[in-house]
Amino acid sequence: MSQKKIRVLVAKPGLDGHDRGAKTVASVLRDHGMEVIYTGLHQTPEMIAETAMQEDVDVVGLSILSGAHMSLFPRVRSELEKRGLGNVLLVGGGIIPGDDMKSLEAQGYAKLFGPGTNTDEIARYIQAEMERRWKLEGA
């Protein structure tokens, strides 16, 4: 792992009121040496993108259990792009059917994680993907 710290924004879009998983993932990412900003509950796509821009994050991770992923995830991506953050690594997790995962990944989400995913696997994926991206950028 390089000396550069990965900055991750963990966000809960929409009206989903369950954040135990998001808080657990945020804690594990911190344990893996990442800087993590957690937005809290009930964030709009605009709020998430604005926080990502202000915090200069490398990664945006969304957590959703409400079933609104097919409307909220694309809106978050669009808001990030409006702010010039189209290069941010987008990941997510929650209750997302396999076909929807494939569709969202085709729309720009790098990886989506379902229930029961080992949290260390999420951290390792983010670390490996950021290392790959930084090597391509020459950072």
**Where do the domains of the chain lie?**
7-132
- Asked if pLDDT for residue 1 goes beyond 50, the answer is no
- 7-132 folds as Rossmann fold (3.40.50)
pLDDT in tens, 25-61: 999 999 999 999 999 999 999 999 999 999 999 999 9
- Asked if pLDDT for residue 91 goes beyond 70, the answer is yes
CA distances from 131 to 5, 71, 75, 90 (A): 11, 30, 27, 15
Confidence band for 139, pLDDT divided at 50, 70 and 90: low
Distance CA 130, CA 99 (A): 26
**pTM: predicted TM-score of the whole model, two decimal places:** 0.95
Confidence band for 2, pLDDT divided at 50, 70 and 90: low
